[in-house]
Amino acid sequence: MNEQIKREESVHGKHWSKLHGGYFSEPMVAYPLIRKVQMIAGKSEADTIIDLGGGTGSLLSLLLAEGIDRNISLVNLDASDTQLEAATRSETSCVRGSVDSFSRHDVGAEDGNFLFMMRSVLHYFGEDGLRPMLRHLRTQTQPGEYFVHQTASFRHQHDADCMNELYQIMRTPKWYPTVDFLCECLKDEGWQVLEVLPGLPLPLTKEELRRRYDLSPAELLRISDQFLSHPLVSEDLFKKTDDDFCAFLHYWIYICTPVITDKPNKKKPEMTVK
Ligand SMILES: C[S@@+](CC[C@H](N)C(=O)[O-])C[C@H]1O[C@@H](n2cnc3c(N)ncnc32)[C@H](O)[C@@H]1O
């Protein structure tokens, strides 16, 4: 198991649904992504939906509850045993594996028609691992398939910089791109970005950060000082009250498909680039 996942074990499994105000189990938060996945699954005639870094399987459960063709296989691929143990729905299958090294063969019939979805996982790969991960996924994707992901990312460079400083103080390699930079990386790694739309922000309270990353009072103070020392920090990114603070991770949903190069017989996507 990778070090980051090991460090977060205390918030995984049965604790996960309550973390960050219940963000990861709240249907309202997930609906924009779920609606897109439902729509694209129908349009692309996917036979398998793979949730990359699917955690406790809450997105796949919601997809089932909201309605998806019952002939579509649902697969949760995650690297954490604790998360997968909590993902117990019989209608979905769990695969233990890493997003940056799995093979198509691990998650379904190689000649199947896959739809890859992902929420809040890309930042685990850090600045250096982002492009290799996107490249790896591209090698596991066929023309006409889709990669729909909700990724923490920021419209403005200074917001991304502030958040990355926060994560450095917390001694984690997690890293957040700007929306423009992520689109550039996706394109460089062979993806066409068809649409980008906003998701709901995730509140990171002082107490939850302390617990999740085992932070000392001095580290918490540094985080607060760091944000307050930035002239451009808005209340969308960081709010301070007397003895407390809350930072906000911003999310965007990216609809991507592999760039088609030399396979004219494969079905081309019909969506409009925004
Ligand atoms: C923030 S959680 C999101 C969980 C789920 N996608 C959701 O939205 O509820 C990130 C998940 O990614 C998983 N993860 C992190 N790095 C991974 C990797 N390299 N391969 C597979 N899963 C990974 C973690 O175990 C965790 O379950």
Given this model, what pLDDT does residue 159 score? 93
Distance 259 CA to ligand 1 centre (A): 26
Distance 262 CA to ligand 1 centre (A): 33
Distance 55 CA to ligand 1 centre (A): 5
What residue owns the CA closest to ligand 1's atom 25? 80
* Average pLDDT in the chain: 91
Domain count, the chain: 1
Confidence of residue 16 (pLDDT cuts 50, 70, 90): confident
- Provide the CATH number for the domain around residue 188: 3.40.50.150
With respect to residue 125, please indicate whether it lies within any of the assigned structural domains: yes
- Tell me how far apart the alpha carbons of residues 257 and 266 are, in angstroms, rounded to a whole number: 13
pLDDT tens string 115-142: 999 999 999 999 999 999 999 999 999 9
Q: Cα-flanking dihedrals φ and ψ of residue 236, to 5°?
A: -70, -20
With respect to residue 14, please indicate whether it lies within any of the assigned structural domains: yes
What residue owns the CA closest to ligand 1's atom 11? 53
Q: Which residue has the higher pLDDT, 267 or 20?
A: 20
Is residue 60 within 8 Å of residue 79, measured between CB atoms? no
What residue owns the CA closest to ligand 1's atom 12? 53
Does residue 119 line the site of ligand 1, with CB under 6 A?
Answer: yes
With respect to residue 48, please indicate whether it lies within any of the assigned structural domains: yes
pLDDT tens string 1-10: 578 778 777 7
Given this model, what pLDDT does residue 119 score? 98
pLDDT tens string 45-87: 999 999 999 999 999 999 999 999 999 999 999 999 989 988 9
With respect to residue 167, please indicate whether it lies within any of the assigned structural domains: no
What's this model's pTM, rounded to 2 decimal places? Answer: 0.92
What residue owns the CA closest to ligand 1's atom 10? 121
44, 101, 140, 141, 174 from 184: Cα distances, Å: 25, 22, 20, 19, 19
pLDDT tens string 191-219: 999 999 999 999 999 999 998 888 999 99
With respect to residue 146, please indicate whether it lies within any of the assigned structural domains: yes
Given this model, what pLDDT does residue 267 score? 56
With respect to residue 94, please indicate whether it lies within any of the assigned structural domains: yes
Residue entry with tokens 């036979």: 47
With respect to residue 101, please indicate whether it lies within any of the assigned structural domains: yes
DSSP characters for 192-248? EEEEEEE---EEEEHHHHHHHHT--HHHHHHHHHHHHH-TT--TTTEEE-SS-EEEE
Q: Give the residue numbers spanning the domain of 91.
A: 3-158+172-203+249-258
User: Please, what is the end-to-end C-alpha distance for the chain in angstroms?
Assistant: 38
Distance 123 CA to ligand 1 centre (A): 10
With respect to residue 212, please indicate whether it lies within any of the assigned structural domains: no
Span 179-200, average pLDDT: 98
